[in-house]
Structure 1
Amino acid sequence: MLQKYYEGTSRIIELSTEIGRLIGIVDSNYLQKPTTKLRRDNKIKTIYSSLAIEGNTLSVDQVSDMIDNKRVTGPPKDIIEVKNAIEVYDHLREFDPLDEASYLRAHQMLMKGLIDGAGNYRTKSVGIFKGSAVAHMAPPAWNVDNLMKNLFRYLNEEDDTLIIKSCVFHYEMEFVHPFMDGNGRMGRLWQTLLLMKYNPVFEYLPIEGQIKENQQNYYDALAKSDKAGICTAFVEYMLEQIFFSLEDLIETQRRSLTNTERIEHFIEFSGKDSFTRKDYMTVFKDISTATATRDLKYGTENGYFKRSGKDRTSEYQIIKK
């Protein structure tokens, strides 16, 4: 290992195993892309929670209105923060979580109009205060670039799972505090991107909401890791939040998918341009032949597929939209 960022503990092993089990349930129940309404609700909750942790005063309803391009009144800084966050989360898939230049580009987008030098590492010393006491003194500015390059080297070269790496990066980035402002929201954003690279479902999980509901525990885990000089406590804490978020998703979505949801899932995740009914049923193993036939008929009639051939020899071409 390039640097020993954390200690493997029985709790980390246990949580990693349980998260793997829940990811298996997500995959087998076609939940990688939840329903449109749930995705929208989770996006609102994610943006609201991540900014509220940093002191943004806008409500969930105001964030929702801004996503719908409705006019909202509030402190100008808070309005800009939400607008920037919406833009970032609208372009999540355009960022490469293993690339430092992409990371700096995300910060520029997230903090534009809020600080000078958005998208650049700090050139001054910074400390985090609780009242008049220094809670954390970040490494000197001259060492930030080196520390961040080491952290991206860890992401790219080490054998830890992306789930573990996402937790380590989140903590270590907060410790380095590479920017004059926006470090907290960047830590949470980049963890989401690393998790998305592991499994698409994490684009739609409001882990930030889970953190906000346990905000003091979040700060306690950061402080405990600071004191220990190693981020084991924070990795354990974040794995718990990931576990709870997955549990919530599975509980919310524990129902049969509609025909439209099955069709849209197949189009996005099958990797096929043309296919047969047998191919369709290979993805959806728990549906009957009659249900598959009805799905394909509906998909053909509603512009998802173009059918050729008859009966069991039919082939379907996916219509690109």
Structure 2
Amino acid sequence: MQYNWQNLNWEKFKFDDSVIDSLCIDFALETGELKGLVDSLPTEVQQETILQFMISEAVKTSEIEGEFFSREDVMSSIKKNLGIGDAVGQIRDKKAQGIGKLMVTVRNSYSEKLTEFIIKEWHAILMEYSKRVNPGEYRSGVEPMQIVSGSFGKEIIHFEAPPSTQVPAEMQKFINWYNDFEVKPTDIKRALIKTSISHLYFESIHPFEDGNGRIGRTIAKKCLSESLNRPVLMSISSTIEQNKKQYYESLKQAQKTLDITHWILYFSTLILESQKNAKQIVLFTLNKTKFIDRFKKQMNDRQSKAVLKMFESGISGFQGGMTVLKYVSINKTSRATATRDLQDLTIKNILIPKGEGRNRSYDLNLLS
């Protein structure tokens, strides 16, 4: 099987950009509406919104690769790197520190010129606590870098990347291509095309032993932010995670050809969906702020702590609802106190109970 990188001048991809004409209009409307919504928020709520996006991207880009971090660990890492020291909890999983730091680093430097040094630095941050790879170093093994699935003896090779000896030269060509591809902030079509190609191009080189997917999605977000001249508010990885099978199949097919029209349509659609989903997260953050402002004087410190803990789960909701046992764990209090506090929150229409007896749990009453 021949892969894209085995063709001469393979970086000269072919595509029909008319396939995203209508999509560009939709994206312009969505991103404009989102920007207006965010700009209208108080500064504190804007900061909270940005934090939620970084947490979602960090958690989901890791889950795509089979790494599962708690939102609490990731949030603590991001807050630490943002300098919000008084709100930082203990980070139990050291690997969560890396992905959290990466999110902040990329957002703060979105406008900087992309270089090999920067990409290696991102990888070093991401893989700092990994024992399997050399953080910040390209792969150097003689074994083929293959994307494989299936059980032992029945492996299916989906893709084979360039040999390690070619990686430095291929990465230099990638960097040259990236920086030569100029985009005006108002040219949404070229921004979407460059972002789509940059992700495919990098993933096809697969320069590191591990972490290529996460770095590749980071490059895509940096590319879109740089192209539009502002850090974008979206979680591309959250949208990918909803249908990983389609993502990997689209990537697999695109890596077999230099005609990437279908890939550009797929990835641009992915970006558009991510932008639409972003609006829901902004509205959630706004509703959270209104909710807390409305009820904060009606709650004691224990109740406030529990409610804020529930909101930390984001738009997906607090899994399993709040229970007496969870309340006890969060506040280090007695079951009797926890039961009274939860009943009080129910009476005040702050929480909604469901189930009976040992199965009783509580959800936030966001419709109140």
- TM-score of the pair, normalised by structure 2: 0.61
Conserved? CA contact 1:171–1:231, under 8 Å: no
Task: Report matched runs for 1:21-100 at 5 Å.
Answer: 21-28=29-36, 31=39, 35-64=46-75, 67=78, 69-71=88-90, 73=92, 79-92=93-106, 93-94=108-109, 96=112, 98-100=114-116
Task: Report matched runs for 1:131-142 at 5 Å.
Answer: 131=150, 132-142=155-165
Q: CA deviation at 1:36?
A: 2.5
| Aligned-partner Cα distance in 1 for 2:208–2:49 | 33
Answer yes or no: is 1:5 the counterpart of 2:13.
yes
| Aligned-partner Cα distance in 1 for 2:273–2:200 | 19
SS at match of 2:157: strand
Conserved? CA contact 1:26–1:32, under 8 Å: no
Structure 2: any 5+ residue segments left out of the alignment?
A: 1-8, 79-86, 184-189, 287-368
| Aligned-partner Cα distance in 1 for 2:145–2:241 | 24
2:167 pairs, out of 115, 135, 144, with 144
| Aligned-partner Cα distance in 2 for 1:48–1:253 | 18
Q: Give identity over the alignment, percent.
A: 22
Conserved? CA contact 1:49–1:212, under 8 Å: yes
Q: Structure 1 residues 203, 9: closer, same or farther in 2, change over 3 A? A: closer
| Segment of structure 1 superposing worse, 38-47 or 183-192 | 38-47
2:122 pairs, out of 83, 106, 111, with 106
Letter of the 1:154 partner, please give it. Answer: W
SS at match of 2:217: helix
| Aligned-partner Cα distance in 2 for 1:170–1:94 | 18
Q: CA deviation at 1:149?
A: 1.6
Structure 1: any 5+ residue segments left out of the alignment?
A: 74-78, 258-321
Conserved? CA contact 1:224–1:233, under 8 Å: no
| Aligned-partner Cα distance in 1 for 2:18–2:172 | 30
Answer yes or no: is 1:118 the counterpart of 2:119.
no
Conserved? CA contact 2:49–2:281, under 8 Å: no
Conserved? CA contact 1:97–1:194, under 8 Å: no
| Aligned-partner Cα distance in 1 for 2:219–2:68 | 23
SS at match of 1:120: coil
Q: Deviations over 1:284-305 (max 9, x none)?
A: xxxxxxxxxxxxxxxxxxxxxx
Count residues with an aligned counterpart.
Answer: 251
Q: Structure 1 residues 127, 251: closer, same or farther in 2, change over 3 A? A: closer
Letter of the 1:13 partner, please give it. Answer: D
Conserved? CA contact 2:236–2:271, under 8 Å: yes
Answer yes or no: is 1:217 the counterpart of 2:239.
no
Conserved? CA contact 1:97–1:190, under 8 Å: no
Q: Deviations over 1:163-199 (max 9, x none)?
A: 3212111111111111111100000111111111133
1:226 pairs, out of 247, 255, 258, with 255
Match of 1:128 in 2: 147
1:181 pairs, out of 206, 210, 213, with 210
SS at match of 1:129: strand
Q: Deviations over 1:223-256 (max 9, x none)?
A: 121233443333222211211122233455579x
Conserved? CA contact 2:12–2:258, under 8 Å: no
Conserved? CA contact 1:31–1:201, under 8 Å: no
| Aligned-partner Cα distance in 2 for 1:128–1:248 | 30
Letter of the 1:35 partner, please give it. Answer: Q
- TM-score of the pair, normalised by structure 1: 0.69
| Aligned-partner Cα distance in 1 for 2:114–2:75 | 30
Q: Structure 1 residues 252, 135: closer, same or farther in 2, change over 3 A? A: closer
Q: CA deviation at 1:42?
A: 1.4
| Segment of structure 1 superposing worse, 114-123 or 104-113 | 114-123
Q: Structure 1 residues 62, 103: closer, same or farther in 2, change over 3 A? A: closer
Q: CA deviation at 1:32?
A: 9.8
Task: Report matched runs for 1:259-270 at 5 Å.
Answer: none
SS at match of 2:255: helix
Conserved? CA contact 1:51–1:82, under 8 Å: no
Q: Structure 1 residues 204, 158: closer, same or farther in 2, change over 3 A? A: closer
Letter of the 1:63 partner, please give it. Answer: V
SS at match of 2:194: helix
Match of 1:297 in 2: none
Letter of the 1:112 partner, please give it. Answer: E
Q: Deviations over 1:41-80 (max 9, x none)?
A: 211111100001111133435534555543355xxxxx23
Q: Structure 1 residues 32, 56: closer, same or farther in 2, change over 3 A? A: farther
